[in-house]
Structure 1
Amino acid sequence: MKNFIKEWGLFLLFMSLFILSYIFVWVNVKVDGHSMDPTLADGERLFVVKVAKIDRFDIVVAQEDDKKIVKRVIGMPGDTISYDNDVLTVNGEVVEETYLNTYKAAFAKDKLQATYSYNKLFQELAMSANAFTTDTQGNTSFSITVPEGQYFLLGDDRIVSQDSRAVGTFAADDIIGEVKFRFWPLADFGTIHDK
């Protein structure tokens, strides 16, 4: 028994800690789709910290029905958020969304036609949009008050994202955790800058 512990003890301790941390502290997730372009790309692999405190503009993973989705927190519990021609107001204060600058500029230039050259449906959606961020009816001005205990989540690629505009807010229990680190592809290995 002593020899077994001497030879395998450290390995078993490491594996036990690894498994416990996977159960309680972190999980890995694969980005599925283009709703977080250009911040996160389809197929990227991420580490998600389950015990992180969720703040506005954090990128989170949430449970939606039987799938995990990656979105950005825009509205916190109790917030009133409004959009008016791509300008975000939170509780009466205008807030910049600098992470949208690349796609908003491309939308202003050619309605994202060059960006979406890989997908005809995306091009059609962009051509029919009157702003980069609209509600499900295409309105460029809309408001929502986020219920207590809920979060309003949006994808960074507002034209193609299915998010809280379509499916409603997400309960705190539906938020799995905050995206902290990208480990695949190796060329983009590193922390996620979400603000």
Structure 2
Amino acid sequence: LWTFVAEARFIPSGSMEPTLQIEDRLIVDKLRYRFQQPQRGDVVLFIPTEGLKGQDLTGAFIQRIVGLPGETVTLQDGQVFVDGEPLSEPYVLADSDALEAAPNTWMAADVGIPEVIPPGHYFVLGDNRNNSYDSRFWGYVPGELLIGQATQRFWPVERMGAID
């Protein structure tokens, strides 16, 4: 029953800092998206997309939904625009506070060419934009690859609580 309803996960990288820290332990609600559509701002766990397969990456990814089906998302100078309007993102790690998530050979990219997100797909980004491997690099996440929404942190105890 536990694995059908929810599952525990840990955070292996800094791509979601400051929201999620390396080695945080989370509860992922696996039923939520059976009853409601994902929303902008949801922190989601998902199976790697076709763009990630064959890159020797294993396990699920966790990132934040910033673009919904039918919307147009662009990134310019670090600012996300949805349908031409700037997106307020108080959870994003500021450039001056950037932390190294992992050694990498890729750079955080701007997405300057407007493109409509296809039906049933989502544009996801890590909160630590300078060190996140996300939709800027491998495209949209199909809804059927969403495992669930990260809703609660249960470790460390001093940071226990809801995930925003």
Counting only pairs closer than 5 Å after superposition, residues 88-103 of structure 1 correspond to structure 2 as 88-100=80-92, 103=93
Higher helix share: 1
Which of 58, 68, 76 aligns to 2:42? It is 58
Instruction: Find the counterpart in structure 1 of residue 136 from structure 2.
Output: 165
CA distance in 2, matches of 1:45, 1:35: 15
Larger Rg: 1
Does residue 153 in structure 1 map to residue 98 in structure 2?
Answer: no
CA distance in 1, matches of 2:141, 2:160: 29
Counting only pairs closer than 5 Å after superposition, residues 173-184 of structure 1 correspond to structure 2 as 173-184=144-155
Identity %: 31
Compute the displacement of 1:59 (Å).
0.5
SS at match of 1:106: helix
CA distance in 1, matches of 2:141, 2:76: 23
Compute the displacement of 1:143 (Å).
3.3
Runs in 1 of length 4+ with deviation above 4 angstroms?
A: none
Aligned 8 A contact 1:86 1:140 in 2 = no
CA distance in 2, matches of 1:76, 1:90: 9
CA-based RMSD: 2.3
Aligned residues: 152
SS at match of 1:27: strand
Gaps in structure 1 of 5+ consecutive residues:
1-19
SS at match of 2:129: coil
Aligned 8 A contact 1:85 1:140 in 2 = no
- Higher RCO structure, 1 or 2 (CA under 8 Å, sep 6+): 2
Aligned 8 A contact 2:111 2:136 in 1 = no
Gaps in structure 2 of 5+ consecutive residues:
none
CA distance in 1, matches of 2:9, 2:117: 26
CA distance in 2, matches of 1:188, 1:85: 32
Instruction: Find the counterpart in structure 2 of residue 42 from structure 1.
Output: 22
- The TM-score with structure 2 as length reference comes to 0.81
Aligned 8 A contact 2:95 2:130 in 1 = no
